[in-house]
Amino acid sequence: MTLRLSLIAGALLGLSSSVANALQTCGQAQYDPAQYVCWFDNFLCPVIAGEGLSYCGGACYSKFQYTCNGNVLNVLPTLPAGTPFTLTVSNPTLTINGQLVSASGQHWGLGGPTSSYCPSQVGSSCPQGNITAIYAGNGGAAMDVIVPGGQLVYLRPDWNVGYTQAHSAYIPPGSLTTGFAAYEGGGFVNLNGNGWGWVACPPTASGGGGGVWNLVAKNSTNAASLNLCTAINLKVNTLPQGTVGAWQYT
C-alpha cells in the first residue's frame, strides 16, 4: 500500500516537472495554453500554426478555411477566379510572421526579395515587379504577370512551391498543378496531402530556400524530415482588380 502510494506520488511529481507551462482550467479540464485555447470556459481547441483554432457549435475550425454562421460551419467562399492577391506568413510565434511570400529563382520563399524582369522596350509600362502577386482559380494558381503564356504555379516533386519560367511550359515530372484554394478573407490552402498544411523552414534547414525561410507543403511521408520547420498559415491579401505583379517573375 505505501509502495503504491509513493509510486503514484513519484509519477505525479514527474508529470508536473515535465510540464513547461502553468496549466490553466477550462471547465473540468486542465490545459497547457501553449497547446490549447479555451472557448466559453468550456471547450478546448488545439493551437495550430501558433494560433488557437476557432470554435463553432461543437467543432474547432481554422478561420483560414471556414466560417461559422449561427453555429454552422461553412467553407469560406473561394476568391473569384483571376482576383490578384499577395500571401503573408501567419504564425504569431515566428519572427517572419506577417512577411510576404516572395518569388525568386522559380521558387516561393518566405520574406525574401521578389525577383522579376521586364524587357527594356516595355519601358515605363513595366509593373513595379517588387511584390509577389498571384491569382487562383479552378484549383490551380498562377503568377500575376503580363508575359505571354503566363507562369503557372505548381507543387514541385519536393513539395516546395515553384512556377514555370516565362515562355516555357516545362513542369518537372511528378509536380502537382491543382489542389490549391484561395479563400476570401482566409488563407491559401494546399488541399493535396490530406490537410498537413504548410510549414516554414529556417534558412539553415531549408535545403533550397536560397538563404531565406522556405515554404514546404507537409504530407504524411515528409512530415518526419520537416521537424525543424514550423506550421504556418498563408493569409490571402486581395489586391485591387487589375493589379499586375510583374512582367515576369524570375
Ligand X SMILES: *[C@@H]1O[C@H](CO)[C@@H](O)[C@H](O)[C@H]1NC(C)=O
Tell me which residues touch ligand X (CB under 6 A): 128, 130-131, 158-159, 193, 219-222
Q: Which residue has the cell 516572395?
A: 102
Q: How far is the CB of 148 from ligand X (least distance, A)?
A: 24
Q: Which is nearer to ligand X, 18 or 220 (CB)?
A: 220
Cα angle 78, 173, 213 (rounded to 5 degrees) comes to 60
Q: Which is nearer to ligand X, 44 or 246 (CB)?
A: 246
Q: Are 86 and 143 in contact (CB under 8 A)?
A: no
Q: How far is the CB of 158 from ligand X (least distance, A)?
A: 5
Measure the CA–CA gap between 49 and 91, rounded to whole angstroms. Answer: 5
Q: Which is nearer to ligand X, 148 or 173 (CB)?
A: 173
**C-alpha cell of 244?**
499586375
Q: How far is the CB of 83 from ligand X (least distance, A)?
A: 19
E-assigned strand segments in 104-151: 108-110, 116-117, 134-137, 140-143
Q: Which is nearer to ligand X, 88 or 151 (CB)?
A: 88
Q: Which is nearer to ligand X, 67 or 127 (CB)?
A: 127
**C-alpha cell of 66?**
471556414
Q: Are 88 and 237 in contact (CB under 8 A)?
A: yes
Q: Are 48 and 60 in contact (CB under 8 A)?
A: no
Q: Which residue has the cell 515566428?
A: 94
Q: How far is the CB of 218 from ligand X (least distance, A)?
A: 8
The residue number whose beta carbon is nearest to ligand X equals 222
Q: Around 38, how many Cα atoms within 13 Å sit in the side-chain half-sphere?
A: 14
Q: Which is nearer to ligand X, 16 or 220 (CB)?
A: 220
Q: How far is the CB of 220 from ligand X (least distance, A)?
A: 6
Q: How far is the CB of 214 from ligand X (least distance, A)?
A: 12
Q: How far is the CB of 159 from ligand X (least distance, A)?
A: 4
Q: Which residue has the cell 489586391?
A: 239
Q: Are 9 and 2 in contact (CB under 8 A)?
A: no
Q: Are 49 and 233 in contact (CB under 8 A)?
A: yes
Q: Which is nearer to ligand X, 127 or 187 (CB)?
A: 127
